[in-house]
Structure 1
C-alpha cells in the first residue's frame, strides 16, 4: 500500500515563518497581529497557483490579499450578536458558494476567503484590533508578492490567459442548489450555536462551512475521520498541559504541531486534524483557558457540525437527482 506523501518542506517553511512571528511577538508585542501575519502567508501559499505564469500568480495573490483585508473588520465586528452573525455568515456562504459557477480558480479563492471570514467571525474583537489585523494581512500579502516578484524578476512576460469556457447549464444549476442548501445549513447552525453553545456559538457553523463541499465523495468516512482527529488532538493538548510544565517546551510543541498541520494538509486528513486541534487547544491552554471544558466543546461542536454537514449534503444530492433524474456528480472546480 502506497503511503500518502507528507510535505515536510512546506511544514518547515511554515514553522520557520511562525518562529519569526513568535520572535516578533516577543520583541514588539501584538501577538495576534503576528499570528495573523503568519496565517496570511499560509493562506496565500495555498491560493498561489504554482502552475500559472508569474504575472498571473501575482495578480491572483494581490486580489485575494485585498479582499481578505477588506472582510477582516467586517468579520471581527460581525459576530457580536446572533442577528449580525446570521446575516453576515449567510451572505458570505452564499457568495463564496455561488462563485464556483465562475470556475476552479474563483471557486478556490471564494472558499479560502470564506475560511478566513468564518475563523475571524468566531474570534470577535474591537474596531481598533480589526484594523490592526487587516493591516497585518496586507503586510503578509505584500511580503509574499514582493518576494515572488524578486525571485522571478527576469521571467518573460506570459501570454494572456486563455478564456475559460462557461460551465454547462446543468452544472450551474447544481451550484445554485448547493449555494442555497449550504447557506441554509450555515444559518441554521449559527442560530443553533447561539442557543446551545453560547461560549463558542460559531464553532459548529465553522465545521459545516469547512466540511460541506460538493467534492466530498465519502462524507461518512470524512466525518468519522474529523471526529477522530479532533478527539485525539484534544487528548494530546490536555496531556501536554498536564505533564509538560515548562512554558518553553509547550511553545516548542505548539510550533511543531502547527508545522506538522501544514505539512499534512491535503495529504493525511486525520493527522492534519490532530495537529490542528492540538495546536489550537495548546494555544488556548497557554493563554489560561480551561482545556477540559474547551476540549469537550470542541468535540461536541465537531460531532454536531459533521452531522449537519452530512444531512445537508444528502439533501443537496437528492434535490439535484430529483431535478435531473440522475445522481448529481461532484461539481468540478471547487476545493
Structure 2
C-alpha cells in the first residue's frame, strides 16, 4: 500500500478518481501547508474513506513534549508505529521565524564521539512518511500558535545521507509549489561527509543548503572525533566539495565544533583556512556543549573561540558563531538521544 505522502502515487490516485483540480489544490493547501487533518482537508467523508483504503497513513505519536524555559525551543519525543522513538525540535526565533530540526534515522549509523545520539546505536532509516510526518506534527502545533514553518534543517537524529532516497523524496514534497511550497534557500541538509551522496544531493537539489560537519582541521583530529573519516578522509571531502560547488547555488556551511585543547588553537584555525581555500562556504563555529558529557571534553574559552574566529576572518572567510536553542531541554547540537528509546 503506497504512502499518502508519496506525491506521485497521490496524483495518480486523484487522476483515477477524476478528482477535480480545484479540490486537489484545496486539499494540498489544507493538508500540507495548513496541517489540517484528512477529514477537514477533504470535507467529503466518502472520499476520505477511499483515501484511507488506498493509502498507508502512518501514525506518528507525540509521547512527550519539553518546552525550554530560556528560549523558544520545544523538543518532541515522537514514537513510530513500531515503537521507536525519534526527536523533533521546534525552534521559535525571537524575530518571529520558526525552524524545524527533523530526524532522518532512528538512532544513527555513525559513531561520532562527541554526539549523544551515537550512544543509541542504529535502529533503522526513517520512511518518507515518518520524515514528512514530523513536519506535519510540528505544523499542527505551530498552526495553533498562529506560526508557520519557515525553515527546515535535517540536523536531528541520524545521518541524512545514509537515508538519501527518502530524504530526497521528502525534499520533493517540501519544495514543491503544489505541496509544502518551502523555499530551497530555507532548507538545509546536514552530513558528516558521505561524498557520493553529497554529489547526488547537489545535483538533485542545487539550491538546497548543505551543512558539512567537519569539526577538525586535519585527519588526525577528525579520526578521533568521527570514525567515518577513515572512509571519507578530508582530502576526499575537499575534492567532492570543489566539484559539487559547480553544480550548486545553495549555501555550503562548514560546521566546526570548538573543543578545548583539541581543535581550537590559532594554528589549527590557520590549517582550517588552508584546507578550505577555494571552497565557497560559510564557517559556523559551534561552542562544544559541556552538558553532553561525551569524551570528557570541555568547551573552548571565549578568548580562544574569538582568536580562532579572528584567524579565519583574516583569511577572508565569512564566519558565524552558533547560538544553540534548547540547551536546558537537551535539544541543542549533539544532545538528541531519544530517552526511553525502545530497545
Q: Normalized per residue, which structure has more strand?
A: 2
Same fold (TM over 0.5): no
Q: Which has the higher contact order (CA 8 A, sep 6+)?
A: 1
Structure with greater helix share of residues = 1
TM-score by length of 2: 0.27
| TM-score normalised according to structure 1 size | 0.27
